[in-house]
Structure 1
Amino acid sequence: MSDQLPPSVSAPPGRAYEVLTPGEKFGDYQVLRCVSYDLLGSLYGVRKPRAKQEQTVFVMPPIIKATPDFKQRFAQVAPKLCGLEHENVFSFSEASEVKDRFTFLGDPFDGENLADYLQSYVNKQLKERRTENDEPRELVSDMPMGLPADQVTPILSQVLEGLTYLHQNKIQHFNLNPTNILRTKDGVVKVAGFGLLTLIGQERFEEIVSAGIPPIALGGRAIRINSVDILSPEARQGKPSDARSDVYALGITAYWLLTGRKPTADYTPPSEMVHGLDEKWDVFIANCLDREPEKRYQTVAKAKADFDEFDKIRPLRSSSARSSIGTSETKTIFHHLEFIPVPKQVKARGEKSARAFRLAVLGIVCLGVGFLVFSMLNSMIGDESMDGMTAIRTPEGQVPRLSISIFPESSSMKISSTDLNYIVRDGKLGLNILPGSYRLEFSSPGFTTTSRLIQIEQEPQSISVRLKPAFTNVSFTSLAETKLTAKDSDGEIIELGETNADGVLALEGKIPAGEYTITAKKDGYLVTKSGPFELSPSEDNRFDIPLDPILGVLRVKSDPSGAEIYYEDRKIGMTNATLQDLPVNEEFLLTLKLEGYRESILAVTVKPDTRDVLDFGVLTPLSGEIAPVIKLGGQEATPEQLKAVTISGKSVNAKLGDETFSANSSNIVAGQFRISDINEGEITMTVEHPDYLNETKTFTLENQVRMKVIYDLAPKPAILTLSPQPAGEQWTIELNGQKVKLDEMRAPLKPDVKQTLTISNENFFEMSKAFTPKPNEKLTWAPELTRIPSAETGKDYDVPFLKMPLVWVSPGSFTMGSPLTEPSRLPEEGPITQVRLTQGYWIGAHEVNQTQYEELIGFNPSRQAGKTRPVDYVSWREAMAFCSKLNEREQAAGRIPAGYEYRLPTEAEWEYAARAGTNTPFNWGATATAANGNFQGKYPRDFESSELDGTDHYGSKPVGSYPPNAWGLYDVHGNVREWCYDNYNARLPGDAVADWVRLEDNTRRPTRGGGWEDFAIRARAASRSEGLSEQSRSGSSGFRLVLARIIPE
């Protein structure tokens, strides 16, 4: 792709229209070339530095940023414009601001706009016409130089495709000129620049037009189409525009592509300008260019339908094509016109007269500039004067520079601003005329004078002029309320109107002079054609139109009968019936209407004095089509799954009764169900699949409508049959952690979801298994469960179902209490006693946590909430109650060794296990800080800083937060104070004792190990708290249990 700007792309600078040049930096992009150019913005090929891929960016004019609400409107509308995707629409991927300019970013484009494409084609044609010795000549501006029809056809077809897609998405183009139609090198046409006029707004658009210069070519082509040229008459008049304005622009573009010229107010059909062009092009373009929107194609879709059936195109209107089509000479939109001064006499006539005056002044200025340019060209060419005259009749035998064909044949032609006047006798006039710009005036008696602006250059050229007849006054007399139409000699139909109560229709200045045939229509009378009549502008034309009553007879039948019969939207009877007074000897349409059935239309021609039968046959019921979308479990069913789907339903219609229907795999078309010919009305339809739950919906089906109905069938649950072994046990079943009750050990499972089933019994290890079943799947599981063993001497043990590990403590001896030399020693820690434990026991590796306590007791009394924190705010009695309930459960299961029980540890058992074979204040040594356990201060105390040292938190910590001692016990120093089994006494027994436990008649109980709110001295192994009441509770007191020998009472 070339990085050079095409030769025809050159636009003068201006604040409304600015063209970026190749090589120029624009934000992060480097401009490679200008693809298209327009008042509302330009499209450029760009590339980022070091990027291989080329992109396109559409840049809107800088003047729009002055619009107060444009930025907000841009943010709202741009995403919709960027979301459009169609082969014949130039798509953009994103919208943004670059260097204070609003832009759209698109994909690379390899091609050119239609204006440049036509320019290239014309240049090529001129080059081929070059003779061997001649230099290439420039085109004469009025010479038709368009594309061949076989090239225009695919271009317009693709433009219609793109416009239809845009209109379907509620987007009007309003700026469809050739620079906004792009053509790739492969011939693919894309519509660009859509929606911008709506985005910018009419007022700002007028400012852009008045502030800038339309981007026309500055080369050999004299005429290009810009944003102003394609404006519809209603847009030029400031009236609201709709899809028909795009139809008008399409007609302008089609005319220009075929002829290389714009249509003007003095409209010339393209077939008269292009030799051999099919006259159906005249009809299609006329159907687009009518000045009255109501007489154009009403939608682009309608224009496309006619274009696709080109050979069948017919005129849309009955008025004269040449008098009702072409460009509109109405109010301009240029704001600069307001600055042209207006004489008082003109201004007094109103704003329209002042507007027209400014237009005239602007036209004179433009004409003057044009004449000056061509005069300069003439001086350079060196044409010689013909004895001082501008033009003479061409002598016989010479080729005229200007050949004129005119209708009517007897006319006259005058060259404005000269005294030259020529009489035309046979409709032909040849002139030798100097190159330049001229206005030619044509006139003839009985016809309206018209003028033509023409540019004369070196090449011979021809023009054709057809004068419009002058308007006449005419009066028609017939019966009252008779509708009259006139057909002129060209076959054009003119709606005249309806006679009044006196049977008179008088028309002044509404019908051009000429020859007409008058058609009269009145209910109950034959359609009458009278004439031809010659209407003269110089006479008072009066004509009488007689009418004859209708005499036709016809019997009309249908099955079922009772249908209403309509003739020209008027009800004339019901089937089966004999109709009188029908039109005879001409074809007309009869329409049958019956509730519950589709309208039926037949054409018939009734012969006079006959009794024909028109049988409509069996009427078609009102019906539609159902297209159910089947989803299974939220996912659209695969073709294989659809084979198992069956559908049944019933249609209820007030007139037609009930109708049942069904569908299976034979109704699947292109991977989707299609159920056709279902009577309209209320539909109840059920969709079934063997592995999913049925779904029924009720809805209303309308005639000739394909209704999409979405069904989403929920999957049937899978069934798991359980057969746990050994048989005869009572089992607890949990599904995903939730207990469930099963009927006959059958568990329903959600399909396509992973679920875990757990089976347990207080005497067996629980078993779990994960399942991800399919819908309606049948599964079985026969687990072999293992009985939970009892604690085994010499081995650690986990209390079943509580996840409470117990550490085995072997028999042995230790020194209980503290020596007199131990810092901060208290009297109750002596005298030193040698204790021998004769039996081993199990002790909890952790303090009992809140989850374990709540699992067994059913509630959690703790003030320091946390599932893995030690249970607190529990009294000695409540701790013993926990042990009692655990004994009851485990003894029933036979898991407690003979002579053992769960209880609180004795002080001797607690200190023996806590020391773990050491004789220092702490099982890790003789000093301690808050880093060693959950307590306050440090040890030994120095009475200066220890009161200030403490943990950085409040309350207990999860059990096991600090390293264990040598025997695997956690948190024996700090966290919570731990209740012991003994009665409290302020002194130890001293000497040597075996299996010592103090049982006295008091209710005070000791705690050991210290808690989170105690200083380190209270967390020592030998520290004994003063006895507390069995019923006292504290947020820093808990317990640790043992499985040890039974202590006799």
Structure 2
Amino acid sequence: MDGQPEKTVFVPRSSSAPKDLFQPGDVVGQYKVERVLGKGGMGVVYLAKHTALKKDFALKVLPTLLAQDQSFVSRFKKEGVMVGRLKHNHIVNVTDFGESEGKLYLVLEYVDGGSLEEWFEKNRKPGGGARAAEVQRLTIQILQGLAHAHEAGLVHRDLKPANVLLEKTGEAKISDFGLARVGDEAEYRRAGGTASPFAGDSVTTTGAMVGTIDFMSPEARNMQPSDARSDIWAVGVMTYYLLTGKKPHGFAEPPSRLVPGLDPKWDKFIKVCLAVDPAQRYQTAAAALAALRQIPQGSGGRSWLAPVGLAVVAAIGVAVWQWPRPVPAGATPAPAMKPEPFPVPPKVETKPMQPAAPIQRRFALTGLPVGAVVTYRDRNHTVGASGRMLLDLPPGPQMVRVTTPGYLDWEGEIGGTAGELEVVIPLQLVPPHPVRFTGLPAQAQVKIADQTVAADATGAALVELRPGHVTLTATAPKYETLELGMDILPGTETLALAMKRLPPAPEVVVKLPDGTALKFKWVPAGSFYLGSPADERGRQRNDLPRAKTEIPKGFYIAETETTQRQHRVLTGKNPSTSRALGDETRPVEQVAWRDLTGPGGAIEKLNEVLHRLELPYQADLPGEVEWEYACRAGTDGALSDGSNLTNERDDPALNALAVYARGGGSQDAPSPVAKRKANAWGLFDMQGNVAEWTYGIRGKREPVLRGGSWKVGAVHCRAASRVEVTPETRPTDAMGYRLLLRPLED
């Protein structure tokens, strides 16, 4: 490239490259990230595949810093809606935009032929430009895309070869509409600007410049308002560069002086594009397009050039163009050189060089959906909220085409009847087709418009839908309501959904037949350190070795040890020695293993109650690992409040938590439950009072007593303390139990 390499300038701008925001395999909306396509100042572009359509898209993720700017987010969304309405063969269409994990993203059609910049490097002549016929073909396509965007009210502001992508077929598509505006405006404001040059306001702060300087118009360089004519300037610079291999810095020679055989009409086209005064440029992309089409195709070589033609070239031999350079603040402009004027008309033509035929009538197409695209003479027109489209038609029948999501394409003649000035386009809805939604809970209710369908046992729901935008609502017990909008395409067959499960209730209360309540507290899944460290005070040889252990599923565990009343109502018996004291709020004791796990035992009886009450739980004893996890309640000390023993006979911390043999003595009986402090998960008497039956770590047939009792000292009441027994072990007045509920799987 000629001169300094192309660069995007903004003062100040961070020079650090954006980090990858997503990794291959991440799912953003309905798109699975495959790999990075490129990185730039405005973020990272990924190749992503639509999970249902199996189609490639480009996913452009903007920098996280911008996503934290609420004013930028608001402009981005507004601009995204406008850009999303652009539907043209020579514009990279935006199909979706949104937020994921606090990051803003755009979804664009994937163009797989590289950029115009890459094409030029492959197709230019050594030290020169590309074939004029190819340059003309591509520039025509660029102007067609610009014309469509300008009509929709969008200006690019950073048009350059790197922002023009090519299909493998060679068709050009302009990319990054809208990002140049919202992104650069955000940076301009952060730099200290108090008014926006992008919205046509005056500029009150200097020192900020936005755009790619090699293709930046004079008004943009001077921080003046930019409009569609600034894009025309960029087209002129690109055309000059593609033809000559040079950029028109300083005093630039006309391209026909640099490219032997180039038609001089190229000189006039580029000179009008590059007029310093925007009023002297082509005023619209359509006007520039009309002028470009007047240049004979294939005018890249003139072997037929007559001596007269050579004489004309010689006559303008030293003709040059003056390229405007910005003058530093405070500096005195150097005297302008006065080159021999380049032969151009005294006044720039701002109308197409071949005006259209005189307009005979204004014709109205009615009954159209908002956003429908009417194509007439290769130009696309988008229907607004009125549902009408006005076209200027010459006499006679004219062919038009109407396309819009959810309707069959319509193509036909209009205006063929004398005196006819309006017609209703008979659009037909696309027939519905089945769309399968997966990933739902069984029997979830899926509602779209007036249709409600239940998911089957596999979690799939089949709904007949027409292409277009729909809003889906899914509901299911134990799940949060899911509501989202989505675009149904003609080829959409399957869409995966994900409903978020409601958090478990913090407490479950089971009412026994006589009204006695059993309260259970929720214990969440997690991890903890099982067992005791080697240096723990009071450590016993039966303690399990310390190891980090996972609890993969949450469960409910009884708030207290099972009381004598609860056990009597469940089983019809109270074997406790302390029943003579007349207080059935004490924990039941003298309970054998078979009294819990055998036929007619407490576990079986509670499951009968759960079944009768239609509660979705399975009653059981805790495993000793679950018991210790619940006892510690997220702490890591020897006791259930996270503290450690400081006295093995009379420990102050344990005194607040447990009923045990303080000072080597003994209580007369176990205490009524819940008379000491609960742990962090609301569980009482996890240490002391009565030792609790649990399933041992080696299996359900090898029980273990946990928690110590009212008859033993402090060292036996630690969270890690355990006593291995057998199913045949004879019960004592220090042995009780605590029940557990496991949620049934849906």
Q: TM-score, normalised by structure 2?
A: 0.38
Structure with bigger gyration radius: 1
Structure with larger RCO (C-alpha < 8 A, sep 6+): 2
